Structures are given as structure tokens and as C-alpha cells.
């Protein structure tokens, strides 16, 4: 039987996550969580008044994890975007429908979990 993991944040990581999340929220950032796919995406606007597009970072649950842990995913995605490891996409941050569609599509492509289409 393959070894499984149960990742948890350390006390220092929990504190750092709170600070990163507060800064992200202050920048009007968004967090998309897809537990069924094992993916967390954080997104922020870039460009003039948010019209330039969206920067984002993705955290993906390992195949060996026992269960999805939202806060662990948030920590790693927020850490990526705050350290400049963001990717950029030409989706208007102000267009909710387009941004939600894009985030879900990106989560599907990032997921390591097999999703049944039944």
C-alpha cells in the first residue's frame, strides 16, 4: 500500500498565512477553492485599475494526501503570489463570470485528482 500524507501547517506557517491573507484581501484579491479537484487558486488584478488582467498562483494537493486541506493550499498559493511566482492571464479581473470560468478551467487542468464525468 502506498504511503499517504496528512500535511498540516506549523504554528509559524499559520501566522504567516494570516498575514498573507490579510494583505491579499487588502489588494482586493480573490481565493478560489476546489476541494473536489484538490486545487486552490489565488488571484489579484494587475494593470490600470484592474483592467490589465489577472495574476494568479496555484497550489495543488498531492496525490498522496489523505484529504484536502484548504488552509495548506491557501498558504502555498499565497506564498507563491506574494513572492513573485505569479503567472499572468489576460482575463479582466473586473469580469466575475469570465474570472470564475477561467479559474475553474485552470483548476481542472491543474488537478491531479481523476474526476469522473458520470
Q: Tens digits of per-residue pLDDT, 59-74? A: 998 888 888 999 999 9
Q: Find the helix packing angle between 70-82 and 11-26, rounded to 10°.
A: 60
β-partners of residue 65 are: 5
Q: Cβ(29)–Cβ(78) under 8 Å?
A: no
User: For residue 103, is pLDDT > 80?
Assistant: yes
> What is the Cα–Cα distance from 107 to 92, expressed in whole angstroms?
18
Given this model, what pLDDT does residue 93 score? Answer: 78
Q: Cα-atom radius of gyration of the chain, to the nearest Å? A: 15
Q: Tens digits of per-residue pLDDT, 71-87? A: 999 999 999 999 988 88
In this prediction, what percent of the chain has a pLDDT beyond 70? 86
Given this model, what pLDDT does residue 108 score? Answer: 85
Closest CA to 24 of 49, 43, 39, 7: 43
Amino acid at each position: 500500500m502506498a504511503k499517504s500524507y496528512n500535511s498540516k501547517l506549523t504554528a509559524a506557517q499559520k501566522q504567516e498565512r494570516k498575514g498573507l491573507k490579510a494583505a491579499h484581501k487588502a489588494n482586493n484579491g480573490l481565493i478560489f477553492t476546489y476541494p473536489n479537484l484538490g486545487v486552490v487558486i489565488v488571484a489579484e488584478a494587475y494593470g490600470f485599475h484592474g483592467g490589465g488582467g489577472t495574476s494568479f498562483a496555484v497550489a495543488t494537493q498531492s496525490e498522496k494526501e489523505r484529504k484536502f486541506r484548504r488552509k495548506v493550499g491557501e498558504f502555498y498559493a499565497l506564498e507563491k503570489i506574494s513572492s513573485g511566482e505569479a503567472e499572468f492571464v489576460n482575463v479582466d479581473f473586473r469580469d466575475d463570470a469570465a474570472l470564475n470560468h477561467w479559474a475553474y478551467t485552470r483548476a481542472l487542468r491543474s488537478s491531479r485528482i481523476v474526476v469522473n464525468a458520470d
